[in-house]
């Protein structure tokens, strides 16, 4: 008697894709700064590209794949001060896309090495123009040959802020069990503020949104924008935040050093700006639940001169 062939068992998938690791970052209590207090920070360096920009870039690429504007023969193009570029290069390598990035020449050497290691084609622009110079060059390249590129355009692409509406905002709401009273966010594209802020306001309109910018046009807060003197992102709403705060470069640097020494957290410069503002908000609202976002790891900034003073 012939025995029937056995049916192969269904084997569950093993492991994850790189993009599955984006999001769901921890919320940390900063007890050393506010003992037994109310200050919390979202640790965005837990993303695989070590920054919050992984969320926006994955949202931009995923939406472009869905609508057909990004195909395998097109080069992904965008302007960046570093972290968005790393996210593009990382995801581009994982999904077999070519990536071309316009980036200010003044960014840290470590960022350039990371971008090139991940296979990105880097075009350096005038350091004195900060991210605006990179935006102008990316727009020129796209205008000259639009069929060659998928222009992600992080500064106007609505998929940027929607990524934070879909992920960052809900995570913060759930991690605080809906108790958050203040969200303190630094702005570059403003995608995090607009997206996470809109979600949180939809859950509780009384949540206060605090927008953090550099306090002057000439600053050392890489990745952040002084909106009154810069090319303004297309979806930025100057009236959206409940409060605006300007942070000095030196104050941000000090908070970066303090976070490493007091909490063991090695973070980037915009994280220092976020903490500087959040400390003031927490002090003024001792009964609140204040959440800020630490956008990236500090590994890429160890060549900055302020570390030499330690």
For residues 192 and 196, give the distance between their C-alpha atoms in angstroms, rounded to a whole number.
6
User: In Å, how far from its chain's centre is CA 123?
Assistant: 21
Check 42, 51, 53, 300 and give the catalytic one.
53
Quick one: residue 173, left, alpha or beta (phi over 0 = left, psi -120 to 50 = alpha)?
alpha
User: Do strands 98-104 and 208-214 pair parallel, antiparallel, or not at all (unpaired)?
Assistant: unpaired
For residues 184 and 186, give the distance between their C-alpha atoms in angstroms, rounded to a whole number.
7
- Vertex 183: Cα angle to 178 and 187 (nearest 5): 145
Q: Are 275 and 291 in contact (CB under 8 A)?
A: no
Check 51, 131, 190, 270 and give the catalytic one.
270
Q: Is 270 a catalytic residue?
A: yes
Q: Is 254 a catalytic residue?
A: no
The string over 159-174, giving b where at least 16 C-beta atoms fall within 10 Å of a residue's C-beta and e elsewhere, is bbbbbbbbbbbbbbbe
For residues 281 and 183, give the distance between their C-alpha atoms in angstroms, rounded to a whole number.
9
Residue count of the chain: 310
Helical H segments across 183-303, by residue range: 191-203, 249-258, 269-284
Q: Are 141 and 135 in contact (CB under 8 A)?
A: no
User: Do strands 149-151 and 121-125 pair parallel, antiparallel, or not at all (unpaired)?
Assistant: unpaired
Q: Which residues pair with 243 in a beta bridge?
A: 210
Environment class of 304 (CB within 10 Å of its CB; exposed 0-12, middle 13-18, buried 19+): middle
Tell me the catalytic residues: 53, 270
């Amino acid at each position: 008697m012939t025995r029937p062939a056995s049916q192969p068992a269904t084997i569950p998938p093993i492991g994850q894709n790189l993009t599955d690791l984006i999001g769901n970052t921890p919320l940390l209590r900063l007890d050393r700064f506010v003992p037994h207090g109310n200050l919390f920070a979202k640790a965005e360096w837990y993303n695989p590209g070590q920054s919050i920009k992984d969320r926006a870039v994955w949202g931009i690429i995923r939406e472009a794949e869905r609508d057909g504007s990004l195909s395998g023969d097109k080069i992904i193009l965008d302007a960046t001060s570093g972290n968005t570029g790393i996210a593009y290069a990382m995801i581009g390598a994982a999904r077999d896309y070519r990536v071309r990035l316009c980036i200010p020449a003044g960014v840290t050497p470590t960022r350039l090495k990371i971008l090139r290691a991940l296979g990105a084609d880097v075009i350096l622009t005038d350091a004195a123009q900060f991210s605006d110079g990179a935006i102008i060059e990316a727009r020129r390249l796209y205008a000259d040959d639009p069929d060659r590129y998928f222009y992600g355009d992080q500064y106007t692409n609505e998929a940027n802020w929607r990524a934070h509406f879909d992920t960052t905002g809900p995570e913060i709401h759930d991690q605080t069990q809906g108790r958050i009273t203040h969200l303190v966010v630094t702005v570059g594209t403003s995608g995090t503020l607009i997206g996470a802020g809109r979600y949180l306001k939809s859950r509780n309109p009384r949540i206060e949104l605090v927008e953090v910018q550099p306090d002057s046009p000439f600053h050392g807060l890489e990745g952040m924008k002084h909106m009154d003197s810069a090319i303004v992102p297309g979806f930025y709403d100057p009236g959206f935040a409940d409060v605006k705060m300007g942070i000095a470069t030196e104050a941000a640097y000090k908070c970066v050093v303090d976070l490493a020494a007091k909490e063991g957290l090695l973070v980037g410069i915009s994280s220092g700006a976020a903490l500087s503002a959040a400390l003031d908000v927490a002090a003024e609202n001792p009964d609140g639940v204040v959440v800020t976002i630490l956008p990236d790891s500090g590994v890429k900034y160890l060549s900055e001169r302020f570390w030499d003073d330690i």
